[in-house]
Amino acid sequence: MKTGYSDRTDQEFLTSMVDSINQHRAKHGVPPVVLDQQLVDYAKSRAEHVADKGALVHDGTGGYGENLYSSSSSEPVQGPATAASDAWYAEIKYYNYETFASNDPKKAIGHFTQLVWKDSTKIGAGRVCGSADNTWHDTYIAVNFSSAGNMSGAYKDNVLPPAQ
C-alpha cells in the first residue's frame, strides 16, 4: 500500500455503509443489502488499489458491481460512509425512468442505479485513508455489489422509482 496510507475498514464504517445504502434502497422499495465477508475482502483490496493509483478506476474483472468514492481534506478525517452513499444517490436527479438513461449525457447515473439495483443483495466495503505529504488527507472508498447491477435490458425491473 502507498506510504502514509492504511486500511480504515472498521466495523463502525461497515455498519454505517450498510445502513446508509439500505436507507436509500428503502425509498425504492427494494430489498436491503447484507454484508458479505468475501465482498468486504475484495472491496478492501479495491480501495487499496485506487488509493495506490490515486484515481477512481473501475476494475471490471471481479464480476461484481462497483461504486468508488474519494475525498480530500486539509484535516486528518476519515471520510464517512454516508458521504459516499449520498453522493452516489444524488445521481438520481439525472436518471430517466422511461429511457433508463441519463437526462444529461455529461452526467453519470451508474452509481445511483447500482446502489438501488433490486437484484444486488450483498455488499462489501473498504476504506483507505492517509496522506502522502501531511498537507492533504485522502479517503478512498470502494463498495462492491453482488449480483452486479447495471445490466443491459434489466433496468426496468431493477431500478424502481421512489415510492410515493
pLDDT over 80 (residue 53): yes
| pLDDT recorded at residue 1 | 64
Alpha carbon distance 27, 63 (integer Å): 27
Domains of the chain: 5-158 (3.40.33.10)
Alpha carbon distance 152, 104 (integer Å): 19
pLDDT over 90 (residue 140): yes
Provide the phi-psi class of 72: left if phi over 0, else alpha when psi is between -120 and 50, else beta.
Answer: beta
> For residue 43, what pLDDT band results from cuts at 50, 70 and 90?
very high
Helix (H, G, I), strand (E, B) or coil at 124: strand
Instruction: Give the start-end residues of each E strand in the chain.
Output: 5-7, 34-35, 65-73, 95-96, 101-102, 122-130, 137-146
Q: pTM of the full predicted structure? A: 0.93
Alpha carbon distance 157, 72 (integer Å): 36
